């Protein structure tokens, strides 16, 4: 991949993604395989005015080895230096860039029960620090082409290098990083904002989903809830784009109001393990029954991570004719696949989906219906025949999606 193109992508992440401010620290979490690309991102962060850029390196094969060889107690432990780092982040609020490139099935075969129990304890210890940063810090999740991931997406490529090159092209296209990435995102954010404004003016109290694969589902919405999409802002008013790419318009539903069944339309990669062809049945807002052709045990462990894990934290609307969907590439990566299909998410809701959320305490936000959990896991349910109706506060049903796409236009 040409370096000039990757530099433009790195600039997009630094400028539009986390929107680095002058004198700010930046933390970049990435696999050691991506050292060259991290260097490009770091350079762009410094050009944007960063004071210091810190790398936080990961290595999936090492993570797998640790999961196999260490005890649950060792895996769950939060070391003193890790806790000090989390405390510092909560105070300093560095911009945080996550570069995803792992093998989507790289942890397959590990002891799911042992790993889930360890991650549950570890996540519970990390959660207070994450909650302290909520809506205050700026973060961006983006991707880089990893060798094992590329082979998964393009198994017919003759060489690993050609698979990586092809995955890079797919990532850049999906991320609107070709041509003038900054201008592309300014226009894209404007269109997403117009859709949010239309939806927020309808007075919706529920969404109803139906598709030919068996999905028949209704979810309640908060009276104080709003739809967001693309660019967001911190409590202090600084804009950023948390996901590159992003095609979704989303909201957090009202906890306890979800009934019916949904069927997955794409595989889900969760903690390096694939879950395929699954269904989820909801009663009283909670997932009470799940089935999967692969990874069912992982799915069951996931929704048992804590008390809120089996409830929904997000409803996201994405047209079937989105650019990522039309590319006909299955990424096996939620960052991309969720932007090719309507999706839901188990676990933590977004407090900034409540109108004037800064006026409320955490407990008040929970009382309004925002779900709380240590996890937030998106799963795709969008199909080419999906229909979604919005139910208003007067009982009217307004078509929002027809044949998998938006049923309304915006200017």
Q: Where would I find the beta strands (DSSP E) of 264-408? A: 268-270, 273-283, 286-294, 312-317, 343-347, 376-380, 387-392, 397-402, 405-406
Contacts of 74 (CB under 8 A, 6+ apart): none
Numbered ranges of CATH 3.40.1830.10 in the chain = 3-180
Query: What single DSSP character describes residue 102?
Result: -
Token pair of 292 as six digits: 């999967």
The CATH architecture annotation of domain 3-180 reads 3-Layer(aba) Sandwich (3.40)
What is the average pLDDT value for the chain, to the nearest integer? 95
Measured distance CA(133)–CA(394) in Å, rounded? 38
Please give the share of the chain, as a percent, with pLDDT higher than 90: 88
What is the widest separation between alpha-carbon atoms in the chain?
59
Measured distance CA(363)–CA(140) in Å, rounded? 27
In 3D, which of 144, 64, 150, 61 has the Cα closest to residue 332? Answer: 150
Token pair of 181 as six digits: 């990435």
Contacts of 163 (CB under 8 A, 6+ apart): 147, 150, 151, 153, 154, 155, 157
- Asked if residues 25 and 50 have their Cβ atoms less than 8 Å apart, the reply is yes
- For residues 386-410, average pLDDT: 95
**Per-residue model confidence (pLDDT) at position 112:** 80
**Per-residue model confidence (pLDDT) at position 63:** 94
User: What digits encode the pLDDT tens for the residues 72-96?
Assistant: 999 999 999 999 999 999 999 999 9
- Asked if residues 344 and 174 have their Cβ atoms less than 8 Å apart, the reply is no
Measured distance CA(21)–CA(12) in Å, rounded? 14
Q: Which segment of 108-112, 229-233, 359-363 scores lowest on mean pLDDT?
A: 108-112
**Per-residue model confidence (pLDDT) at position 69:** 95
User: What digits encode the pLDDT tens for the residues 127-179?
Assistant: 899 889 988 999 999 999 999 999 999 999 989 999 999 999 999 999 999 99
**Per-residue model confidence (pLDDT) at position 272:** 85
Query: What single DSSP character describes residue 180?
Result: -
Orientation of helix 181-200 relative to helix 3-12, angle to 10° = 40
- For residues 335-349, average pLDDT: 94
**Per-residue model confidence (pLDDT) at position 334:** 86
């Amino acid at each position: 991949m040409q370096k000039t193109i990757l530099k433009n992508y790195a600039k997009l992440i630094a400028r539009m993604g986390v929107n680095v401010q002058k004198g700010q620290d930046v933390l970049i979490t990435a696999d050691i395989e991506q050292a060259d690309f991290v260097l490009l991102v770091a350079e762009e962060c410094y050009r944007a005015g960063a004071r210091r850029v810190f790398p936080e390196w990961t290595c999936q094969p090492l993570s797998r080895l640790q999961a196999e060889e260490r005890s649950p107690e060792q895996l769950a432990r939060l070391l003193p230096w890790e806790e000090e780092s989390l405390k510092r982040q909560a105070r300093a609020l560095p911009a945080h860039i996550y570069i995803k490139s792992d093998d989507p099935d790289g942890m397959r075969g590990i002891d799911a029960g042992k790993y889930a129990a360890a991650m549950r304890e570890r996540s519970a210890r990390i959660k207070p620090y994450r909650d302290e940063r909520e809506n205050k810090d700026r973060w961006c999740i983006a991707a880089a082409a990893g060798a094992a991931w590329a082979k998964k997406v393009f198994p017919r490529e003759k060489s690993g290098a050609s698979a990586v090159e092809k995955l890079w092209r797919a990532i850049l296209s999906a991320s609107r990083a070709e041509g003038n990435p900054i201008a592309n995102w300014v226009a894209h954010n404007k269109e997403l904002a117009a859709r949010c404004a239309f939806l927020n003016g309808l007075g919706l109290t529920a969404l109803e989903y139906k598709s030919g694969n068996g999905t028949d589902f209704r979810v309640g919405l908060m009276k104080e809830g709003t739809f967001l999409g693309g660019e967001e802002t911190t409590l202090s008013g600084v804009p950023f784009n948390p996901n590159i790419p992003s095609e979704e318009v989303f909201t957090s539903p009202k906890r306890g109001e979800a009934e019916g069944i949904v069927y997955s339309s794409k595989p889900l990669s969760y903690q390096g393990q694939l879950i395929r062809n699954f269904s989820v049945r909801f009663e009283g807002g909670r997932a009470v029954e799940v089935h999967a052709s692969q990874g069912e045990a992982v799915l069951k462990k996931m929704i048992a991570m804590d008390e809120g894990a089996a409830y929904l934290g997000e409803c996201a609307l994405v047209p079937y004719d989105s650019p990522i969907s039309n590319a006909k590439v299955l990424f096996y990566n939620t960052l991309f696949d969720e932007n090719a299909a309507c999706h839901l998410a188990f676990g933590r809701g977004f407090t900034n989906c409540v109108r004037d959320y800064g006026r409320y305490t955490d407990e008040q936000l929970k009382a309004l219906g925002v779900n709380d959990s240590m996890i937030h896991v998106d799963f795709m349910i969008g199909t080419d025949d999906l229909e979604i109706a919005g139910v208003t506060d007067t009982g009217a049903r307004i078509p929002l999606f027809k044949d998998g796409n938006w049923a309304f236009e915006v200017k």
